[in-house]
Amino acid sequence: MMEELPFDHEPDIQLGAALRQALEPAGHEAFVARVMAGVSTPKAGSWDVLAGWAGRGIAAALLVALGAGFAAGRALQPASASIEEGLMSAPADSGTAAAALVRGNNPPDASIVFAVRP
Amino acid sequence: MSRDPQPQVGGARIEHRDEAELVTRSLAGDRAAFGALVDRYAAQARRVARAVLRDPDDADDAAQDAFLSALVKLEQYDPRRPFGPWLMRIVANAATDRRRRRSVRSAEPLDPGVVGGGPRPDTAAERSALSERLRQALAELPERRRLAVVLFDVEGYSHAEIAGMLKIPEGTVRSEVFHARRKLRTLLEDWREPS
């Protein structure tokens, strides 16, 4: 046993050997194999996998929804979407001109809006 | 898989020349290279984990977690430095985390009679009993103290390396090793005295 000196700089060989024997694990090869098996199949919780799938699913669903919305919007547009055409074709005293103004997607041309009908 | 023999004392003195290469190959996806690192450090990692966790199975789980964690963090390893202290820091953290999660088990009171003196360890059975007493005595030490003494006296790391692993000042490491030795040496002396 080494002399007990405070703050020895060298390891205590005897104490170290006794501790090593006390802590020495068995089954070295089995442990290494176990670790390497864990490396082959990294731990991925099922929730992680599902989250990955969900992320891709949500992205795909968003794309589909955007496409569907765009298509639906196009389909709902009136065939004569031009306000100018609606204003010019409607009788002066009917409400059709005002309806065309409200229904249109684009602002009407000022020359049409302020045109004086003969 | 070839196994490098662990020195009796001085795990830190394992030849490190090829470790940087093993790490580089591991990073490139060479499974065998990482296997060589695991093979080289398995015993040391398990002993260090066991210094924190009394249960050998818990210790092995912690050591395994540490190796897998090391693989994930391998890019953070500085190949100019020895691999052992870097890995043992991860092992100590993994074991400490696991011990915290199992704090109820680790807080089991020890039988005071067990850590007392006893006959000389002349036979295998007595040596086994001494080992058990040493484990018990070790478990009575504060966690940082037992890690310090195991890393210094069993694994052969320097005070400075242990300070880096445990993130404490070097002087504190020296103090922890001193106090741990005082307790453990008393136990060993008791075994050497005729009962």
What is the model's pLDDT at position B126? Answer: 74
- Alpha-carbon separation of residue A75 from A24, A61, B62, B164 (angstroms): 77, 21, 62, 69
The answer to whether the CB atoms of A22 and B185 lie below 8 A apart is: no
What is the average per-residue pLDDT within A61-88?
Answer: 73
Under 8 Å between Cβ of B153 and A43: no
Q: Looking at this predicted complex, what is its ipTM?
A: 0.78
What is the model's pLDDT at position B181? Answer: 93
What is the average per-residue pLDDT within A79-87?
Answer: 59
**Chain B hits for A23, Cβ within 8 Å:** 46-47, 50-51, 135, 150, 154
Structure tokens at B39: 């093979």
Distance from CA of B51 to the nearest CA of A (A): 7
Structure tokens at A30: 């089995």
Q: Where are the alpha helices (DSSP H) in B14-166?
A: 19-27, 31-52, 56-72, 83-101, 103-106, 124-140, 143-149, 159-166
User: From A35, which residue of chain B is nearest by alpha-carbon distance?
Assistant: B64
User: From A2, which residue of chain B is nearest by alpha-carbon distance?
Assistant: B185
Structure tokens at B75: 């890019």
Which is nearest to B62 in space by CA: A42, A29, A34?
A: A34
Which is nearest to B148 in space by CA: A16, A24, A18?
A: A16
Q: Does B61 touch chain A (CB under 8 A)?
A: no
Residue A63 pLDDT level (bands cut at 50, 70, 90): confident
Distance CA B16, CA B14 (A): 6
- Which B residues, 82 through 101, put their C-beta within 8 Å of a C-beta on chain A? none
Q: Which of B3, B9, B131 sits opposite A13 (nearest CB)?
A: B9
Cα torsion angle, A78, A79, A85, A88, sign:
negative
What is the model's pLDDT at position A92? Answer: 59
Under 8 Å between Cβ of B141 and B183: yes
The answer to whether the CB atoms of B188 and A38 lie below 8 A apart is: no
What is the model's pLDDT at position B165? Answer: 93
Q: Where are the alpha helices (DSSP H) in chain A?
A: 13-23, 28-40, 46-76, 83-89, 96-103, 110-113
The answer to whether the CB atoms of B64 and A35 lie below 8 A apart is: yes
In the three-class reduction of DSSP (H, G, I as helix; E, B as strand; rest coil), residue A41 is classed as coil
Q: Which residues of chain B have pLDDT under 50?
A: 1-14, 106-119, 195
- Indicate if the pLDDT at residue A107 is higher than 90: no
Under 8 Å between Cβ of B157 and B87: no
What is the model's pLDDT at position B5? Answer: 36
Pick the more confident residue, B50 or A118: B50
- Indicate if the pLDDT at residue A75 is higher than 50: yes
Q: What percent of chain A has pLDDT over 90?
A: 17
Q: What's the N-to-C CA distance of chain A in angstroms? A: 121
Model pLDDT for residues B123-176, shown as the tens digit of each residue: 677 778 888 888 888 988 999 999 999 999 999 999 999 999 999 999 999 999
Q: Does A22 touch chain B (CB under 8 A)?
A: yes
Distance CA B116, CA B112 (A): 7
What is the model's pLDDT at position B104? Answer: 52
What is the average per-residue pLDDT within A6-11?
Answer: 70
The answer to whether the CB atoms of B153 and A21 lie below 8 A apart is: no
